């Protein structure tokens, strides 16, 4: 039976961007306020799951043609690489560095290597969530 | 601060991640994992050397000072165990190249083995009790994958049991850590030890000690918590069995050793007496199992349990000599169990069965295999001058010195029966009239024999070089016997 989900699909098209923007906001809030790579990643995968619900696996695969296991691997590499970078400066593993810089538009901004680490976490979370959901979804 | 400590954890971790990109290219996977395993051996050897030269090495992750951050601590014991682990990992990987099969290789076998090594090396190295839990989980997750990978019927059945047991024991682990944290208010192991000695012997500490014994006993397979082990370890193929048998239970044993020497040495009359009783029972149960079966896998698996008992018996006596003996035996046992599992793996590849009744006369066709197996079994039983002898001698002697006659006697008798149980494989399987087996021609026996042969050479050298290795091992035991050394190194007071 084919259900008519015009409303869901139309709403999704708009809401999707709101969710993703909010997840990016959460991601960057991460270091000093509640948020970060994990929550941001979960929210982004929430957006993708919404897309899956409104459309189907094939459509989503067409829009986002990623191998999510590879996404996990890339994320891990970024995260471990950030941690291992400290070794080259003869500091303990996972030591972070930060500085304040004046950027155009943004003004005084804190630049922190933790953002790189969080980017890794972000990708890992998306990769793992989507791998799980796709594996469960495909067997139906 | 010494970044060398992280390398035996970091190298396999990066390798595991990089290998995910090469799932289709099996040759690349083999090369990368072999090279990284070699690098890990080199790094851990350098680490062990430094620890021997300069004493305990520590490293505060993220540069958060102990006791606030997570500290990695490499004392002699952990450095030696990490080195042994790296060598065994290399042997098992090398053996896998021609035996594990393409299907498994395509489905993340090599990445997962690397993650397993991350967990094991991490558990040996960490100086933070909650971080120990995390590394346990890393190790267990990988072992779940390895035990189910391949998806044969027996694997699926056993992996359900295995996962169930380990999930429950992990939950208990967190509960135990929470109890401990609520009493001492810290997670750094050295700091816990300081706080516990301020409290002295209190009832609640003994309760926590027993809880930890249950948690680690489930992983380390002591009596009566070993029930899951013979079934679960039976399921996966030989190299995985070697990794499990040589490494996983030993992480449990190491954790008991660490916690029972560093934390819970205040109420020895209760906790260590309990440990000792259980250790002796473990030996007896293991020996019974080893004698009862005619399945070669089962015989060796039950021998793991015997060894766990012997090591923990030494730990429970808690004298410098018994601890030295235990460490001697622990390292010997990791090496020799890996060897034996790889060797019986070859027998199974040749004959297609693990039932001793259906195997005979192998030595005619495969003399090298036969004699390697013979030396390995002799080393396992502790025939001088091979590797099992020195450790067992010290454990038994200190058992008699401290008037634990029953335990020491059981250890002595067990070596005889262990010898009998494995000699049975040699006599029935290698002697007798040769038979023809189905897959014999296709078996890459020569390649497969390389890894266990190297490990056997190590066993022989370890036995003959006892005199040379003794100072290293007794340094390790000294740290265990005097927790202050460990505490001072970590907290730098």
A47-83 confidence digits (pLDDT tens): 999 998 888 888 888 888 888 999 999 999 999 999 9
d(CA B14, CA A34): 29
Among chain A residues, CA nearest to B13: A80
pLDDT value at position A89? Answer: 87
pLDDT value at position B408? Answer: 93
pLDDT value at position A38? Answer: 92
For residues A101-127, give the mean pLDDT.
Answer: 87
Percent of chain A residues topping a pLDDT of 90: 43
Angle between helices B189-199 and B129-148 (to 10 degrees): 130
Q: What is the pLDDT of residues B209-219, one digit of tens each?
A: 999 999 999 99
Domain boundaries defined on chain B = 3-491
pLDDT over 70 at A105, yes or no: yes
Backbone region of residue B133 per phi and psi (left: phi > 0; alpha: psi in -120 to 50; beta: other values):
alpha
pLDDT value at position B493? Answer: 58
Cβ of A93 and B6 within 8 Å? yes
- Burial of B447 per CB tally in 10 Å (0-12, 13-18, 19+): middle
Q: Which of A92, A97, A131 to mutate to test the interface with B (most CBs of B within 10 A)?
A: A92
Contact at 8 Å (CB) between B247 and B85?
yes
Among chain A residues, CA nearest to B62: A95
pLDDT value at position B206? Answer: 92
Backbone region of residue B108 per phi and psi (left: phi > 0; alpha: psi in -120 to 50; beta: other values):
left
Q: Mind telling me how many Å the CA of B62 is from chain A's nearest CA? A: 4
pLDDT value at position B436? Answer: 80
Percent of chain A residues topping a pLDDT of 70: 96
pLDDT tier at A32, thresholds 50, 70, 90: confident
Cβ of A73 and B60 within 8 Å? no
Who has greater pLDDT, A107 or B431? B431
Centroid of chain to Cα B320: 21
**3-class state of residue A43 by DSSP:** helix
Strands (DSSP E) found in A12-106 = 98-103
d(CA B400, CA B394): 10
d(CA B475, CA B79): 12
pLDDT value at position A140? Answer: 52
**3-class state of residue A101 by DSSP:** strand
pLDDT value at position B373? Answer: 93
**3-class state of residue A85 by DSSP:** helix
Which of B3, B14, B17 is the closest to A92 by Cβ? B3
Q: Match 């694997």 to its residue by tokens.
A: B155
pLDDT value at position B100? Answer: 87
d(CA A74, CA B380): 44
Distance of CA B307 to CAs A61, B234, B265, B315, B390, Å? Answer: 52, 18, 23, 12, 14
pLDDT value at position B452? Answer: 94
Percent of chain A that is helix, strand, coil (3-state, to 5): 70, 10, 25
The contacts of residue B431 (CB under 8 Å, 6+ apart) are B360, B361, B363
Which of A70, A84, A95 is the closest to B21 by Cβ? A70
Query: Is the CB of residue B62 less than 8 Å away from at least one CB of chain A?
Result: yes
Query: Is the CB of residue B10 less than 8 Å away from at least one CB of chain A?
Result: yes
Cβ of B3 and A87 within 8 Å? yes
pLDDT value at position B102? Answer: 85
Query: Is the CB of residue B454 less than 8 Å away from at least one CB of chain A?
Result: no
Query: Is the CB of residue B25 less than 8 Å away from at least one CB of chain A?
Result: no
pLDDT value at position A2? Answer: 62
Q: What is the pLDDT of residues B389-406, one digit of tens each?
A: 999 999 999 999 999 999
Query: Is the CB of residue B18 less than 8 Å away from at least one CB of chain A?
Result: yes
Retrieve residue A43's tokens.
């929210």
The alpha carbon dihedral of B146, B10, B193, B312 has a sign of: positive
Cβ of B61 and A77 within 8 Å? no
pLDDT over 90 at A91, yes or no: no
Contact at 8 Å (CB) between B4 and B57?
yes
Q: Mind telling me how many Å the CA of B5 is from chain A's nearest CA? A: 10
Q: Mind telling me how many Å the CA of B57 is from chain A's nearest CA? A: 13
ipTM of the assembly?
0.90
Q: What is the pLDDT along chain B (493 residues), one digit of tens a residue?
A: 688 999 999 999 999 999 999 988 999 999 999 999 999 999 999 999 999 999 999 999 888 888 888 999 999 999 999 999 999 999 999 999 988 888 888 889 999 999 999 999 999 999 999 999 999 999 999 999 999 998 889 999 999 999 999 999 999 999 999 999 999 999 999 999 999 999 877 889 999 999 999 999 999 989 889 999 999 999 999 999 999 999 999 999 999 999 999 999 888 889 999 999 999 999 999 999 999 999 999 999 999 999 999 999 999 999 999 999 999 999 999 999 999 999 999 999 888 888 888 888 888 888 999 999 999 999 998 888 888 899 999 999 999 999 999 999 999 999 999 999 999 888 988 888 888 887 777 778 888 999 999 999 999 999 999 999 999 999 999 999 999 999 999 987 5
Retrieve residue B206's tokens.
């003994």
Q: Match 């296991």 to its residue by tokens.
A: A69
pLDDT value at position A106? Answer: 78
pLDDT tier at A139, thresholds 50, 70, 90: low
pLDDT tier at A35, thresholds 50, 70, 90: confident
């Amino acid at each position: 039976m084919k259900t008519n989900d015009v409303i869901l699909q139309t709403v999704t098209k708009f809401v999707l961007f709101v969710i993703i923007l909010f997840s990016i906001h959460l991601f960057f809030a991460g270091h000093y306020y509640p948020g970060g790579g994990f929550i941001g990643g979960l929210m982004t995968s929430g957006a993708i799951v919404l897309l899956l619900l409104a459309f189907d696996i094939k459509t989503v695969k067409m829009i986002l043609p990623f191998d999510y296991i590879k996404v996990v691997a890339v994320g891990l590499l970024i995260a471990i690489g950030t941690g291992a970078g400290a070794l080259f400066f003869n500091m303990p593993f996972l030591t972070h560095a930060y500085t304040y810089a004046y950027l155009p538009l943004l003004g005084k901004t804190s630049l922190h290597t933790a953002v790189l680490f969080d980017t890794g976490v972000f990708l890992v979370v998306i990769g793992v969530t989507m791998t799980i959901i796709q594996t469960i979804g495909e067997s139906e | 601060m010494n970044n060398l400590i992280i390398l035996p954890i970091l190298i396999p971790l990066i390798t595991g991640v990089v290998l995910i990109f090469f799932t289709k290219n099996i040759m690349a996977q083999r090369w990368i994992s072999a090279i990284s395993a070699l690098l890990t051996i080199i790094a851990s050897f350098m680490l062990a050397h430094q620890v021997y030269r300069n004493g305990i090495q520590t490293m505060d992750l993220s540069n958060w000072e102990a006791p606030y951050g997570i500290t990695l601590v490499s004392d002699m014991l952990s450095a030696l165990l990490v080195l042994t682990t790296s060598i065994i990992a290399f042997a098992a990987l090398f053996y896998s190249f021609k035996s594990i099969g393409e299907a498994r290789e395509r489905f993340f076998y090599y990445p997962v083995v690397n993650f397993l090594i991350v967990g094991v090396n991490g558990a040996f190295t960490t100086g933070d009790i909650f971080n120990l839990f995390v590394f346990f989980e890393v190790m267990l997750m990988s072992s779940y994958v390895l035990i189910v990978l391949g998806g044969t019927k027996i694997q699926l059945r056993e992996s359900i049991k295995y996962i169930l047991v380990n999930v429950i024991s992990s939950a208990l682990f967190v509960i135990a850590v929470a109890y401990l944290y609520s009493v001492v208010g810290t997670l750094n192991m050295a700091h816990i030890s300081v706080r516990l000695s301020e409290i002295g012997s209190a009832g609640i500490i003994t309760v926590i000690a027993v809880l930890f014994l249950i948690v680690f006993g489930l992983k380390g397979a002591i009596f009566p918590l070993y029930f899951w082990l013979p079934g679960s370890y039976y399921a996966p193929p030989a190299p995985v069995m070697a990794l499990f048998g040589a490494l996983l239970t030993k992480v449990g044993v190491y954790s008991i050793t660490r916690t029972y020497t560093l934390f819970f040495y205040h109420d020895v009359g209760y906790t260590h007496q309990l440990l000792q009783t259980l250790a002796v029972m473990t030996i007896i149960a293991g020996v019974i199992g080893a004698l009862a079966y005619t399945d070669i896998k089962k015989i060796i698996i039950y021998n793991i349990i015997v060894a766990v008992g012997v090591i923990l018996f030494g730990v429970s006596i808690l004298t410098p000599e018994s601890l030295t003996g235990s460490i001697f035996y622990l390292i010997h046992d990791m090496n020799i169990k890996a060897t034996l599992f790889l060797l019986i793996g070859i027998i199974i590849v040749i004959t297609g069965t693990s039932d001793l009744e259906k195997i005979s006369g192998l030595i005619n066709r495969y003399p090298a295999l036969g004699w390697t197996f013979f030396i390995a079994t002799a080393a396992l039983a502790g025939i001088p001058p091979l590797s099992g002898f020195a450790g067992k001698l010290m454990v038994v002697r200190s058992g008699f010195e401290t008037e634990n006659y029953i335990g020491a006697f059981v250890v002595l008798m067990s070596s005889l029966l262990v010898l009998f149980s494995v000699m049975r494989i040699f006599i029935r399987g290698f002697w007798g009239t040769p038979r023809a087996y189905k897959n014999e021609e296709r078996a890459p026996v020569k390649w497969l024999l390389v890894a266990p042969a190297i490990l056997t050479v190590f066993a022989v050298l370890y036995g003959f070089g006892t005199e040379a290795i003794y100072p290293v091992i007794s340094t390790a035991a000294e740290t265990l016997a005097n927790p202050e050394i460990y505490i001072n190194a970590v907290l730098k007071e």
